[in-house]
Amino acid sequence: MFILDVISSLKKEDHFDKLLIKAGQSLLKKSSNSRNHIFCPYCGIERINNITIDYPEQSSSSLEKVAFADHNYGKVFSALDDVELKKKAISFYNKSIENYNKFYNEGDQIDIANAYRNIGLIYEELKEFKLATESQVKALEIFEAVYRCDHEDIAMVLNNLGTCYPNSESKRKNFLFASLRIDYLTESYNMFKRLMRDNDNFKSYHSPLRST
């Protein structure tokens, strides 16, 4: 976990910027053939609490790399135990969504849905339950439109929605929220059961069942 170690231990040091850029470029060089491992292909990064990226002029190909880079920045900062960095993660995810929308067609938006799902998880950690729910619903709508059948991604978002409703001082709201939680969690549970029943590979890979 070299990247996380660098960020956690050196975020207040003057030489943090150069180390993060070097780490990102090293990781990019090692995995240049895998879009899922692109981390920091661009220089121009400022201090940890005010990060910007100086992007060059974008072709369609480089725009895609920018979107994946922003997405991976979101993953890194969302894993840190710092409220401001988690908010920065949301900003990077939103940038990735903006760029994904420039080159993805309607049937190929899984990365967009994943970004919305991750944003929802961050908002839930920050106790912003309304925003968490809105993001998870956006992810769910995209996943359902793409897959059009039972799928692990749909079941996981339903599970996430089942945890997005907080306790309230209002008994009426608590009853409503409890009903929604039960509905979403039950639907998620039943979908996972169907997937495990109908797909031996899924069953062997995901047993015992656990939330993520």
Q: What's the pLDDT tens digit per position in 28-54?
A: 444 344 333 333 333 333 334 444 444
The more confident residue out of 56 and 98 is 98
The mean per-residue pLDDT over the stretch 150-168 comes to 90
The mean per-residue pLDDT over the stretch 204-211 comes to 41
- List, for residues 72-93, the tens digit of each pLDDT value: 999 999 999 999 999 999 999 9
Confidence of residue 10 (pLDDT cuts 50, 70, 90): very low
Q: Does the N-terminal peptide bond of residue 41 adopt cis geometry, omega within 30 degrees of 0? A: no
The more confident residue out of 53 and 61 is 61
CB-based burial of residue 202 (10 Å sphere; 0-12 exposed, 13-18 middle, 19+ buried)? Answer: middle
| pLDDT reading at 184 higher than 90 | yes
CB-based burial of residue 177 (10 Å sphere; 0-12 exposed, 13-18 middle, 19+ buried)? Answer: middle
Q: pTM of the full predicted structure?
A: 0.69
| pLDDT reading at 27 higher than 80 | no
Tally Cβ neighbours within 10 Å of residue 4.
12
User: How much of the chain, in percent, has pLDDT values that exceed 90?
Assistant: 45
Confidence of residue 182 (pLDDT cuts 50, 70, 90): very high
Amino acid 58: pLDDT: 53
Confidence of residue 65 (pLDDT cuts 50, 70, 90): confident
* Range of lowest pLDDT (69-78, 95-104, 168-177, 178-187): 168-177
